């Protein structure tokens, strides 16, 4: 019996260690996502400051940022050209005829296009 007790204790220790490592990984991911969110917020605010500056001092852009402002203007012009060259969208894509119609479950009546009912697990039939 002592063998099984020892084995059970070791299994619990390994499980606890794995749970702790998973918790640490989740916390690290949470922190990383929060940092990325804050970085996006900083970038958005810098972009807003830059857009305000360019619009406010349009005719008197300092030489230090003139090349950057011109590069942004050139990129905006290129985007406009690319948008204009897009093919016109059709009204609506025709429905694909290969998609099977949803079947009704013979047990619970739920509709699905799978082989088994997602609600009760019964076979959907042919």
Non-local (6+) Cβ contacts of 106 within 8 A are 122, 124, 125
pLDDT at 42: 94
Residue 82 lies in a domain: no
Total of domains in the chain: 1
Which residues constitute the domain of residue 14? 1-59
Residue 19 lies in a domain: yes
Distance (Å, rounded) from C-alpha 118 to C-alpha 108?
A: 10
Q: Which tens digit of pLDDT belongs to each residue from 48-93?
A: 998 898 888 887 888 888 888 889 889 999 999 999 888 877 655 5
Residue 51 lies in a domain: yes
Residue 31 lies in a domain: yes
Compute the mean pLDDT over every residue in the chain, rounded to the nearest whole number: 84
Q: What is the mean pLDDT of residues 89-101?
A: 59
Residue 107 lies in a domain: no
Distance (Å, rounded) from C-alpha 78 to C-alpha 15?
A: 57
pLDDT at 113: 84
Q: What is the mean pLDDT of residues 9-28?
A: 90
DSSP string, 22-70: HHHHHHHHHHHHHHHHHHHHHHHHHHHHHHHHHHHTGGG--HHHHHHHH
Residue 114 lies in a domain: no
pLDDT at 102: 78
pTM score over 0.75: no
Residue 83 lies in a domain: no
The 3-state DSSP composition of the chain as helix, strand, coil percent (nearest 5) reads 65, 5, 30
pLDDT at 6: 85
Residue 116 lies in a domain: no
pLDDT at 65: 87
CA 85 from chain centre, in angstroms, equals: 28
Instruction: Calculate helix-pair angle for 63-85, 2-56, nearest 10 degrees.
Output: 100
Query: In 3-state terms, what secondary structure has residue 101?
Result: coil
111: β partners: 104
pLDDT at 95: 55
């Amino acid at each position: 019996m002592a063998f099984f007790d020892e084995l059970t204790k070791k299994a619990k220790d390994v499980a606890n260690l794995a749970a702790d490592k998973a918790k640490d990984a989740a916390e690290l991911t949470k922190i990383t996502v929060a940092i990325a969110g804050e970085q996006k917020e900083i970038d958005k605010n810098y972009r807003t400051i830059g857009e305000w500056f360019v619009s406010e001092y349009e005719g008197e852009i300092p030489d230090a940022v003139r090349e950057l402002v011109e590069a942004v203007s050139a990129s905006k012009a290129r985007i406009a050209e690319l948008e204009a060259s897009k093919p016109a969208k059709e009204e609506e894509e025709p429905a694909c005829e290969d998609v099977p119609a949803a079947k009704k479950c013979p047990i619970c009546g739920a509709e699905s296009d799978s082989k088994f009912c997602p609600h009760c697990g019964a076979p959907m039939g042919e």
